[in-house]
């Protein structure tokens, strides 16, 4: 111990100030705990600073650019559309700043103490917080670890000025003429689509048989149709081999069908997944159990095998979703306060901000059948909805999954505009134990995309109005 480093006593310590950590800290403070939160980076974590929020801002700017070129079938023609990308980046930064400063205000308003530095656990009640100059020891009664995740780096594609992770792709100073995206998951699809909308020639190299694994093929087909219109090339079952960098670009070599190919681009974006930030924290020192991927094992209250230490978000099993981290943060904070809260992922939505958006909640048709349910899958097309047609955005569908014997809503999948917003209604229906009839009897405004949910529910009941059975 450093001379003079007398331990400072804390009640609840939260490690990581992303959407899991800061939400956990606020909820714990609301429940009467004295909370201290520590992060080595900016408040808001990856999500607010270099993830969810800036990527959606860039996606929106890309959509506006695409729309600015006009739509001939609507009689709208434009010429000489220009994009000042520095202004786009400036606006994106302003969105981030508003939210991160808002998080700081919320933490302070809830009397949460904020520390900046790296954390190293000494034992189950002690941690050191270190910055560039100092090291201070703290003791705590309870701790919530929410340190998030980091993009996986492929050994043959070391990150550089031309080989980008998602953060690098969000912070480019100019719109590339050509970009190669390695990995057709949600991050690669979202950012690839954003740049395609700005006019970049995008090629996606995906190692498996299809992009957006985890979503049904019917859903990904809708996205692929749009990507083709944007001149995005998708090469599946392609194994990225290596990259040669020059001052002005990159040459990527990859193998497909046993044959090696090469492609030139200005940049290559590598999006092959994320790894949990559980290294260099001293978790082994405390005896916290992790699997071979570095994920912390937890119980239904987010408690690790060490009774007073909890873990949430990307460092525990499950999808690396910001809203999952926030949900788990509330559960952990409530558990520390003695409440009987437990995690239940049945209403956890998964969303891709592709074009069009994809969203899923609960069980898919196949998952429900595998679980032994007899189900109905009621599929209603956006093309039969007046609002979708008036938006000139009618590709896609909603598929509502209900239990055959009583119409209980157990899942839904949506491919279409505003799917990210529409999925919430079905999530509520699942959480509340509602039936298709409950949704059908709920009056939905006309004309709205929300009517699609009502129509799918009526279809599940066998009494659809705006399509034939």
Binding region: 56, 147-149, 183-190, 206, 273, 314
Catalytic residues: 446
CB 252 within 8 A of CB 269: no
CA dihedral of residues 283, 285, 286, 292 (deg, nearest 10): 50
The residue assigned the tokens 């992770």 is: 165
Dig out the tokens for 95 from the structure. 């969105």
Question: What is the CA 208 to chain-centroid distance, rounded?
Answer: 21
CB 35 within 8 A of CB 14: yes
How, if at all, do strands 267-270 and 163-164 pair?
parallel
Nearest C-alpha neighbor of 167 from the set 302, 47, 294 = 47
With residue 114 as reference, give the H or E element that holds it: strand 113-116
CB 460 within 8 A of CB 378: yes
The residue assigned the tokens 């939905």 is: 444
Angle at 386 between CA 381 and CA 392, to 5 degrees: 85
Q: DSSP assignment of 59-71, as one string? A: HHHHHHHHHHTEE
Which residues are CB-contacts of 136 (< 8 A; sequence separation ≥ 6)? 5, 8, 117, 128, 129, 130
Q: Pick out the residues of the known binding site for NAD(+).
A: 183-190, 206, 273
Nearest C-alpha neighbor of 219 from the set 73, 9, 21, 364 = 364
Q: Pick out the residues of the known binding site for FAD.
A: 56, 147-149, 314
């Amino acid at each position: 111990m450093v001379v003079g480093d007398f331990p400072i006593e804390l009640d609840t310590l939260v490690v990581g100030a992303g959407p899991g950590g800061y939400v956990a800290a606020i909820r714990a403070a609301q429940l009467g705990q004295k909370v201290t939160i520590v992060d080595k980076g900016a408040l808001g974590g990856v999500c607010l600073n270099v993830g969810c929020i800036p990527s959606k801002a860039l996606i929106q700017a890309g959509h506006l650019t695409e729309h600015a070129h006009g739509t001939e079938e609507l009689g709208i023609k434009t010429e000489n559309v220009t994009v000042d990308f520095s202004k786009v980046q400036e606006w994106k930064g302003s969105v981030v700043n508003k939210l991160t400063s808002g998080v700081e205000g919320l933490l302070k308003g809830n009397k949460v103490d904020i520390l900046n530095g790296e954390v190293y656990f000494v034992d189950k009640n002690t941690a050191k917080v270190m910055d560039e100059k100092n090291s201070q020891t703290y003791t705590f009664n309870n701790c919530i670890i929410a340190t998030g995740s980091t993009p996986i780096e492929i050994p043959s594609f070391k990150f550089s000025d031309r080989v980008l992770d998602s953060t690098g792709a969000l912070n480019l100073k100019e719109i590339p003429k050509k970009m190669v995206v390695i990995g057709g998951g949600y991050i690669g699809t979202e950012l690839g689509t954003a740049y395609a909308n700005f006019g970049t020639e995008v090629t996606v190299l995906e190692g498996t048989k299809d992009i957006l694994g985890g979503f049904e093929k019917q859903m990904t087909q809708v996205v692929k149709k749009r990507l083709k219109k944007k001149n995005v090339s998708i090469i599946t079952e392609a194994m990225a081999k290596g990259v040669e960098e020059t001052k002005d670009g990159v040459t990527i070599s990859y193998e497909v069908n046993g044959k090696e190919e090469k492609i030139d681009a200005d940049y290559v974006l590598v999006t092959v997944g994320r790894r949990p930030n559980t290294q260099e924290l001293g978790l082994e020192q405390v005896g916290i159990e992790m699997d071979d991927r570095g994920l912390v094992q937890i119980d239904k209250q987010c408690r690790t095998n060490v009774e007073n230490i909890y873990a949430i978000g990307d460092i525990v099993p499950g999808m690396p979703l910001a809203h999952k981290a926030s949900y788990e943060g509330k559960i952990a904070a409530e558990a520390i306060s003695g409440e009987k809260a437990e995690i239940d992922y049945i209403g956890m939505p998964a969303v891709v901000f592709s074009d069009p958006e994809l969203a899923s909640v609960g069980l898919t048709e196949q998952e429900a059948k595998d679980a032994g349910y007899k189900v109905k899958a009621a599929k209603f097309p956006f093309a039969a909805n007046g609002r979708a047609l008036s938006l000139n955005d009618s590709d896609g569908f909603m598929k509502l999954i209900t239990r055959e014997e009583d119409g209980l809503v157990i899942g839904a999948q949506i491919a279409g505009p505003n799917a990210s917003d529409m999925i919430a209604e079905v999530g509520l229906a699942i959480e509340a134990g509602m039936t298709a009839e409950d949704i059908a009897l709920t009056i939905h405004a006309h004309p709205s995309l929300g009517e699609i949910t009502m129509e799918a529910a009526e279809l599940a009941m066998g009494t659809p109005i705006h399509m034939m059975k």
